[in-house]
């Protein structure tokens, strides 16, 4: 099946990045959200990020304009019914995702493939709430989408081979690499990454090191481009906690217990960069550790 039109649900950090790379690769993109302000902000951000690529001579001004012309927006979820592939990139809450799919399914064409950009939730379980579990899979982009080269493709228990191959062809058309993952909690990247971040928070919680010393140690001692606490702030501490809870609940192993300090930060609303405070305070000219 040839995929030409792609629907993206959610105009946040991930959704606007997915719209960006899809439009640049030549797909017609229909972006939806419940907020007109979010849609406007997403289109503006895509334009700004494409301008950055133009300034670095990675794309031409004409390519930028063509990509922008391929992006349209709507507040009406049923409008995505005419697309060939839908990528859901709404908030990382299963009840929200299930409600979106239940509202969308009656409007879809028979051939439309449904996917979720979830970073941890069961693909099999999400698929079971639709009319097409064989045409459903995980399509997990890394953040920031225009920069990161990996896409995890996760098959649910019912996902068929034509669906997998169609999604693989899309990933390859973006110039990105696909990693195939089985449908177990948090898949590959976050199964490894988020427990490492949680362990860094435990290291802080137990007083083994300060925010600065922990991040410096991993940057200079393990050659990581960002320290784990800095990375947690970038991802969002609420997202990190949600993934740890999925791992803890899904695998029933105490090694995945979320650190109480991570829980406390989320309870305080200190979620990282998006709220200006997390393990660092971003309200000044330079980030300052909060512990």
257 secondary structure, DSSP code: P
Q: Cα–Cα distances in Å, from 127 out to 120, 136, 167, 239?
A: 14, 6, 16, 22
Q: Which is the catalytic residue, given 116, 122, 190, 198?
A: 190
Q: Which is the catalytic residue, given 20, 88, 116, 140?
A: 140
Judge whether 28 counts as a catalytic residue: no
CB 180, CB 155: distance < 8 Å: yes
Residue 86 backbone class (left: φ over 0; alpha: ψ -120 to 50; beta: rest): beta
Q: Which is the catalytic residue, given 122, 152, 198, 230?
A: 152
Angle at CA 201, nearest 5°, toward 229 and 95?
85
Judge whether 213 counts as a catalytic residue: no
Q: Which is the catalytic residue, given 49, 116, 117, 119?
A: 119
Judge whether 285 counts as a catalytic residue: no
- Centroid of chain to Cα 81: 22
- Considering only CA atoms, which of 196, 228, 194 is closest in space to residue 212? 228
Judge whether 63 counts as a catalytic residue: no
Residues designated as active site? 119, 140, 152, 190
């Amino acid at each position: 099946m040839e995929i030409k039109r792609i629907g993206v649900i959610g105009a946040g950090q991930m959704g606007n990045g997915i719209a960006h790379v899809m439009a640049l690769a030549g797909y017609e993109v229909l972006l939806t959200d419940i907020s007109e302000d979010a849609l406007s902000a997403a289109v503006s951000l895509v334009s700004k990020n494409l301008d950055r690529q133009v300034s670095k001579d990675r794309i031409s001004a004409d390519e930028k304009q063509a990509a922008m012309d391929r992006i349209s927006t709507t507040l009406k979820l049923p409008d995505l019914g005419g697309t060939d592939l839908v990528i859901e990139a709404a908030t990382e809450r299963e009840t929200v995702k299930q409600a979106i799919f239940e509202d969308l399914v009656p409007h879809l064409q028979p051939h439309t493939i449904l996917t979720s950009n979830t970073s941890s939730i069961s693909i099999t379980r999400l698929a079971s709430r639709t009319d097409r579990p064989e045409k459903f899979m995980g399509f997990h982009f890394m953040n920031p989408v225009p920069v990161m080269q990996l896409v995890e493709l996760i098959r649910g228990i019912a996902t068929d081979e034509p669906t997998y191959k169609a999604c693989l062809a899309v990933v390859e058309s973006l110039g990105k690499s696909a990693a195939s993952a089985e449908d177990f909690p948090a898949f590959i990247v976050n199964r490894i990454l988020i427990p490492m971040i949680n362990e860094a928070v435990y290291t802080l919680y137990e007083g083994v090191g300060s925010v600065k010393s922990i991040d410096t140690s991993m940057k200079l001692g393990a050659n990581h481009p960002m320290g784990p606490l800095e990375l947690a702030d970038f991802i969002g501490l609420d997202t990190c906690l949600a993934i740890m809870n999925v791992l803890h609940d899904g695998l029933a192993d105490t090694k995945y217990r979320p650190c109480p300090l991570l829980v406390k930060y989320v309870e305080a609303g200190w979620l990282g960069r998006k709220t200006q405070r997390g393990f660092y305070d971003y309200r000044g000219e330079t980030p300052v550790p909060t512990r």
